[in-house]
A = this chain, B = another copy of it.
Amino acid sequence: MKNAYRIGEVATRTGCSPESIRHYEKLGLLPTPKRSEQGYRYYDQAALERIGFIRHGRSLGLDLHSIQELLALSDHPDTDCGAADDIATRHLQHLEARIAKLQALAAELRQVVQQCRGGKAADCQIIQTLYDHTLACSERGCG
């Protein structure tokens, strides 16, 4: 049959492992596919595109739950688009917050690393710093 792919070929075409594809199916992001008499899954072009949609969402850092919501919107073309905008905007804010936090961590770690002048562990400023900032840190909420 034309345009009917087994899971392995779908995997190579989409860059998504067979395990993940089966996982998405179990979670309800993919419809249950047709099966051969022996039980092999067979996918059509629409399924390929749906998997591509999921992978692109994942590559943007969206979680599977958000992707599922976006797919549901896509499945109901008459619904309002605002929900999609909400999901994307929320995720963008989440990303920006995470970037800010990681940048703060990197800055602190850069300081720590610069203090190391070699020598023995007993004098190591990296280790000392981890001990020193300890309690103050949880009080300041700098974690």
Contacts and interface: CB of A to CB of B under 8 A. Distances in A.
Contacts of A70: 126-127, 130
Interface string A39-55: 00000000001001101
16 contacts: A14-B135, A15-B143, A52-B131, A53-B131, A55-B134, A56-B130, A60-B105, A60-B112, A70-B126, A79-B120, A81-B127, A82-B118, A84-B127, A85-B113, A85-B116, A95-B105
Contacts of A96: 106
A65 B49 CA distance: 40
Contacts of A122: 77-78
A33 interface: no
Interface in A45-75: 49, 52-53, 55-61, 70, 73-74
Interface stretch (A1-9, A20-28, A86-94): A86-94
Copies of the polypeptide in the assembly: 2
A19 B89 CA distance: 35
B102 A61 contact: yes
Interface residues of A, number: 61
